[in-house]
Structure 1
Amino acid sequence: MTLESNVLEKKGSDCYKQYTSLIYDCIELNSSSDEEGVQFAENSSVRLHDGDQVTLHDVITNLALQIDEDAVSKFNIDRINIWDGALRGFKRKTYKPENRMSVMFTDSDGNSEGAVDRGGPTREFLTLLMQTLHNSKIYEGSEDWKNLTCDSQALRDDDYFLAGRIIAISLVHGGPSPNFFSRTLYDSLAYDPQQVTPSVKDICDCDIAEIILEMENVSTLEGLKDVAAKHCNLLHVAGCYRYLQNLQDRDVLVQDFMKWYVCGRTRNSLERLKEGLKTLGVLDAIVAHPVLFANSFCWREEVLTSEQFSELFKISFSTAGSNKRREEQRIVGYWRDYLQDVEDADSSVSLRQILAFITGADKEPPLGFQPQPSVEFLHENNEGYISNFPQANTCCNILKLPILKSFDEFKKQMDFAILNSPGFGHP
């Protein structure tokens, strides 16, 4: 069944029209290239022909219309081996990408950490899974500039397809984006791979980099012929060994060799990754909106500040003028000072750790947080008990702050709870 018919069947013609108007509307994106690849737009929206704007959030929100909240695919995950649990879940015969995900983590003793997943455990699982992909053998390169490998075992196991499917599922189900693709790899997905021009930055094999440097540094035709003869076996495999007529052939030879090493050698890996990304229509959306998705796939520095952090949360105060309200206003002051200390590195935790403790994700996913994160307060309960530690509900994105007498005690208990919570926090 096609993506369009899935949406039409599940959500009706109105939703389908809304989806197609965003994804397949006539939109022209003029892209230019520098030596590192496509020059991406800094803004997070593009303008349509009728003057309206569509954002990445709009596109992913419409893709998420396919999710069937009444059908559930279950995942039983051990944090020590995220990948193993993911494989079991994704390869289960009854698994369907459009089913709502329900994740149950087990602790070191095999006990369940929670019975119901209303979003938090899924976000945490997808965040951990994206980190696992980042460090997997199917990618190579620096931390923020990854290209595909050519791994025969991974091809036999179809790991590239699974990686593409996981990325697509993460985006549509409210999880994080990769943020580690090289521009060369992203361009190969979003545009015609034949038009992609790799750079030396894409070469992580030192021996290959030395060969390229050796060819680039020759200054005579005879020297170029000698270098080509020296590496003729590898150049033959790459399909770029040829008769060299002049020194200008050097640049063509270098580009052809780099293109083979980065793109040609990994063509099968790329095709399987693209097949996986077709899940839930994500690859079609990337091709339709390449500028919008670029910053979600490629790395860019995102510094989370205490002010930005505070703006993510709404404060749920008690009735104005009440004793509880006065205590809560004091604690909010502690909370904001605590965030400032964390930003200033005067704490044992980071802002991303705090966000993960509350939501299950260490940064805001492209689909955003649903519901909006909020702050509540832990007053004395009916039995007279007062909690000294913060509590987090990652399913509802709620942080409950303790009512403590001093800022120093507040900071101490916040640090302890966040650093000692299982995973990113309790669902």
Structure 2
Amino acid sequence: MTAAESSEFVKENIEMELFSSEERGVDHPLAQDPEEEPAWSCFSLGRGLSQPPPAERSPQRPIEMEVLCSLKTHRDKTVCEHRSRRLKWKKTPPPGSRFVVKDVTFVSREQYQAQMESQVFSQSGAVSPVRARMTVDQTWAAAEMDNRLRLVLRRQFGKAAAKSMHFTYLQSVQSSRCLFVPSAPEEGWSGVHVLRISALRPLHVLIHQDISLVQSEQLLSEPQKNRSDLCPTTDTNCRTQELGEELRRVLSAFTGESRGEEVPLLVRRSTALQSALRAVRRSNFCFRDTPLVSFSGEETEGHQGPQREFFRLMLQELRQSPLFEGPPGRLLFTSDLSSLEDWGYYEAGVLIGWSLAHGGEGPRCLHPALFQLMCGRSFSLDDFSWRDVVDFQVQSHLQQLQTCADVRCLSPALRDWIHRCGVPEVSGASTAELPDIYRRVVTHYIHDRVSGSVEQFTQGLSSCDGLWSWIKSHCRAFTPIMTSARSRPLTLQDFRALFTTSYSEVEEEKEEEEKDEENKVKEEKETVAHWDTVLGLISDGDAALTFEDLLVFVSGVKLVPPLGFPGLFRLLFYSQDPVSSAVRLPFASTCALELFLPLRVGGAVDLLRLLTRAVRESVGFTSLRPEKRTSLDTASA
């Protein structure tokens, strides 16, 4: 064998040994042995510089890695265990809430048949769908879910119609607006199953009766005193008188129950609300107890007048408290967390119930739309304005939504805000649905958003022998005293009807005394004529006084209470002291409901000037304030 052949043979032998060897060869000089664990320490590159550890390769798809780990055994078991442990790390979804608020849409047979033909459910038809909102408990059984939905139907269509009404749950196809009847579960439609078929969309319920016919029957079955279409617009006094009679009948039944004890109550005039809260927070407080009110630093001849004025001042401060916001007479509830924790809204309800139980005038401050929603009724958009909201940003959103003529013009920010208000289907809504979306957004902001405050307030009213149940059952009758919807200022005829004149009696004993009495009666009639002229000037707006100012001066309240006053106001007279140069101003007794006018005044203008001074300068009961000159001012006693 030659040298060349020997060299070739050695080379081939070496290559065969390499190929037949079970040892793993190095693929590349720079490649790293996988059996060696790299030490990921920072290698020094220069002054203070360090190289970060190489990026670890991301693991492959979870299914592929799980299969590989189960079929192959890696030499380095720690690496495999580390990878499998990292693959099993999953983010668990948060537990669902037990109570879910769902929007319910009642679909008529005509709407369901129309969508079956067009394969799209349209909410803009001749008959708009009836909407409601309810809370669904996931633990409810089928019977409980059925009763809860019938309660919603009762509020919408009446008690008789809801009892005999048949309905079917509908399910919407995902990513579509088509509705179909799902297969009923064996155990019935429980709360979980109802939430499952509705998912994130509203719950659709098919009503087998004609909705328009049911609504018309509901209107016919309502009492005539609760209907506005039976009395023509030119004869609204008929409906107002009937509602007033109903209110007086209900309040008489509420206040006519057993009276409590008489409890003395010292009140500081500037902080009447704090004095009332101190009384309410006592452990032995009962709203039936009659407060014998006396104002600090003032003397009175009775307790009826101070009691009426105390409730008026207390309600006046309550309207201006942090519990409410908005323009006067159209107040909305706030969501004050500190007041919620301290049960401030509950105490407000107790104070109002306490006032009504003792003949108070009522709050007359809630927004009409809010009061209708609190009673479970729908409200008219004519009763609400975006200006009633205090938040300027919310005002802007409501104004844009109300004036929007095309749903495509809604900005993304406005759509997000509407979605946060509980209307998630705004993205797929049509232009015809904008009024309904606006109504639902308003309902969320003024009622649903402050549901905790509303619930506390109604609980406070209910603590007064179930007063909230009385109010809710006679919602329209209580509207004038809970809101300012149908309140109107006193007219000349209304104010005159409150007074009766008490003339001096003429005794037939002596001729001289009889003549004096006749002259006095003549002077009294002249004063009455001046009084009538003064009332005419006030009615025409030519005076600095109003009838409400005079009513407070005589009775202690600014509005006529729902149950009226114990009797008519008496118009009496007095003569000026001829010896003294002081001028005695007109005065009144709020306990006896008496108004004293001076005799021998120069005319109606002089009498109006004296009355204006007496009303403006009176500061309390039996309060004396010296005139700049020599006159003595006696305010209402």
Partner of 1:62: 253
Q: How does 1:127-166 map to 2 (within 5 A)?
A: 127-166=312-351
Partner of 1:282: 467
Deviation at 1:144?
2.7
- Could you tell me whether the CA contact under 8 Å between 1:171 and 1:177 is conserved in 2? yes
Partner of 2:300: 114
- Could you tell me whether the CA contact under 8 Å between 1:238 and 1:257 is conserved in 2? yes
Q: Which moved more, 1:87-96 or 1:350-359?
A: 87-96
CA–CA distance in 1 between the matches of 2:546 and 2:583? 23
Say yes or no: does 1:335 pair with 2:531. yes
Partner of 1:37: none
- Could you tell me whether the CA contact under 8 Å between 1:377 and 1:403 is conserved in 2? yes
State which structure, 1 or 2, has the greater radius of gyration over its C-alpha atoms: 2
Distance 1:261 1:125, change over 3 A: same
Deviation at 1:252?
5.4
3-state secondary structure, aligned to 1:303: coil
Q: How does 1:165-314 map to 2 (within 5 A)?
A: 165-191=350-376, 195=378, 199-201=384-386, 203-215=389-401, 217=404, 219=406, 221=408, 224=410, 227=412, 232=416, 234=417, 237-242=420-425, 244-248=427-431, 253-278=437-462, 279-299=464-484, 300-314=486-500
Distance 1:336 1:251, change over 3 A: closer
Deviation at 1:169?
2.2
**Which of 597, 604, 617 is residue 420 of structure 1 equivalent to?**
617
- Could you tell me whether the CA contact under 8 Å between 2:273 and 2:315 is conserved in 1? no
3-state secondary structure, aligned to 2:331: strand
CA–CA distance in 2 between the matches of 1:71 and 1:89? 14
Say yes or no: does 1:126 pair with 2:317. no
CA–CA distance in 2 between the matches of 1:415 and 1:246? 60
TM-score of the aligned structures, taking structure 1 as reference length: 0.77
Distance 1:372 1:247, change over 3 A: same
Distance 1:44 1:166, change over 3 A: farther
CA–CA distance in 2 between the matches of 1:243 and 1:412? 62
Distance 1:333 1:251, change over 3 A: closer
Say yes or no: does 1:396 pair with 2:592. yes
Structure 1: state its 5+ residue gaps.
Answer: 1-26, 35-40, 48-52
3-state secondary structure, aligned to 1:177: coil
Deviation at 1:372?
2.2
Distance 1:388 1:283, change over 3 A: same
Deviation at 1:75?
2.7
- Could you tell me whether the CA contact under 8 Å between 1:168 and 1:280 is conserved in 2? no
CA–CA distance in 1 between the matches of 2:315 and 2:471? 18
Say yes or no: does 1:75 pair with 2:243. no
Partner of 1:95: 285
- Could you tell me whether the CA contact under 8 Å between 1:44 and 1:292 is conserved in 2? no
Partner of 2:542: 346
Deviation at 1:351?
1.8
Deviations 1:310-350 (A, max 9, x none): 22111111225733322221221122222222333333322
CA–CA distance in 2 between the matches of 1:318 and 1:152? 61
3-state secondary structure, aligned to 2:293: strand
Q: Which moved more, 1:393-402 or 1:154-163?
A: 154-163
Partner of 1:358: 554
CA–CA distance in 2 between the matches of 1:391 and 1:250? 59
3-state secondary structure, aligned to 2:326: strand
Deviation at 1:157?
2.2
3-state secondary structure, aligned to 1:376: strand
Partner of 1:316: 502
CA–CA distance in 1 between the matches of 2:222 and 2:456? 27
- Could you tell me whether the CA contact under 8 Å between 2:288 and 2:357 is conserved in 1? no
Q: Which moved more, 1:362-371 or 1:400-409?
A: 400-409
Deviations 1:97-133 (A, max 9, x none): 0011221112xxxx2343641x111111111222222
CA–CA distance in 2 between the matches of 1:29 and 1:205? 40
* Identical pairs, percent: 24
Distance 1:67 1:342, change over 3 A: farther
CA–CA distance in 1 between the matches of 2:568 and 2:600? 25
Deviations 1:197-234 (A, max 9, x none): 7755454422123234445637355x55x626x663x5
CA–CA distance in 2 between the matches of 1:183 and 1:302? 15
Structure 2: state its 5+ residue gaps.
Answer: 1-220, 230-235, 507-513, 622-634
CA–CA distance in 2 between the matches of 1:144 and 1:349? 21
Partner of 1:24: none
Deviations 1:240-291 (A, max 9, x none): 3358334356555544433222211111111111112222443222223222
CA–CA distance in 2 between the matches of 1:271 and 1:161? 8
Deviation at 1:55?
3.0
CA–CA distance in 1 between the matches of 2:527 and 2:380? 55
- Could you tell me whether the CA contact under 8 Å between 1:74 and 1:89 is conserved in 2? no
Distance 1:220 1:187, change over 3 A: closer
Deviation at 1:380?
7.3
Paired AA for residue 313 in structure 1: F
Paired AA for residue 278 in structure 2: R
Deviation at 1:235?
5.2
Distance 1:135 1:97, change over 3 A: same
Q: Which has the higher contact order (CA 8 A, sep 6+)?
A: 1
Q: Which moved more, 1:91-100 or 1:250-259?
A: 250-259
